[in-house]
Amino acid sequence: MSQKVAVLGTGKIGEALLSGMIRAGWAPADLLVTARRPERAEELRARYGVTPVGNAEAAKTADTLILTVKPQDMGALLDELAPHVPAERLVISGAAGIPTSFFEERLAEGTPVVRVMTNTPALVDEAMSVISAGSHATVEHVAHAEEIFGAVGKTLRVPESQQDACTALSGSGPAYFFYLVEAMTDAGILLGLPRDKAHDLIVQSAIGAAVMLRDSGEHPVKLRENVTSPAGTTINAIRELENHGVRAALIAALEAARDRSRELASGKKD
């Protein structure tokens, strides 16, 4: 872990990654950060003991660059970095929808690029990070990306052709669960429960269900059937979900997210 790693554009996800890496054993002295606002950079220095630098200095100094800026800002960042990034420098992109070819075309010939789609549970070390190699990235480069993002959760290697689908499922996935909890909380209030009690009931049920899915090895259909008694409350609720097309709506929503990821890759902003 003596290699220097720079996180460029250190927002919430970048900060979560930094803190996770430090807990996993990286020395703060080996971690560089860049931020648009000087006060943000100083905040990170005070909180974690990392070193704030400019983008050009990060490109020259670090062994690995992790780019966590918004997709619409990535082109400008690469224009700034390109003169300073040597061909052997590992570049890891955390931007949704942008293919590794976008980076390879703008950086020195042969630059290894790894694409990672993580999600906001990185803030609590429960991220799902999906990793794909660019055309010049080796197995060792991918393993290094796994080591970094493994500090904040689970990692999974996929071909880059599957990244847009993964963005739809896990990259945007937490928002779907938050949306569902919001709707169920409103339902609990409608049924006569105070908001705080409805919230606690739903959140703990969600945590328990997730742990069962992760640890039991059972198919979700089997787990659902275990709760679904003949002529009981659950089957009546499931019937209404099916009557209202919830399954079809979820499929359509995920397809829309995948399609937007493809549009981002093609440069479409609106």
Type and span of the H or E element at 94: none
Q: Which pLDDT does position 262 carry in this prediction? A: 86
Instruction: Please tell me the distance from the alpha carbon of residue 200 to that of residue 166, in angstroms, as a whole number.
Output: 29
Beta strands in the chain (DSSP E): 5-8, 31-34, 51-52, 64-67, 90-93, 113-117, 127-133, 153-157
Query: CB-based contacts of 88: which residues, under 8 Å, 6+ apart?
Result: 110, 111, 112
Rg, C-alpha atoms of the chain: 21
Q: Which pLDDT does position 1 carry in this prediction? A: 47
The count of residues in the chain is 270
Q: Which pLDDT does position 72 carry in this prediction? A: 86
What tokens does 218 get?
């059972």
DSSP structural state of residue 198: H
Q: Which pLDDT does position 270 carry in this prediction? A: 58
Q: Are 78 and 55 in contact (CB under 8 A)?
A: no
Residue 88 backbone dihedrals phi, psi, to 5 degrees: -90, -5
Query: CB-based contacts of 260: which residues, under 8 Å, 6+ apart?
Result: 97
Sign of CA dihedral 57, 59, 61, 66: positive
- From first to last of its 270 residues, the chain has per-residue pLDDT tens of 468 999 999 889 999 999 999 999 999 999 999 998 999 999 999 999 999 999 999 999 999 999 999 888 999 999 999 999 999 999 999 988 899 999 999 999 999 999 999 999 999 999 999 999 999 999 999 999 999 999 999 999 999 999 999 999 999 999 999 999 999 999 999 999 999 999 999 999 999 999 999 999 999 999 999 999 999 999 999 999 999 999 999 999 999 999 998 887 776 665
Residue appearing with tokens 């002295």 = 29
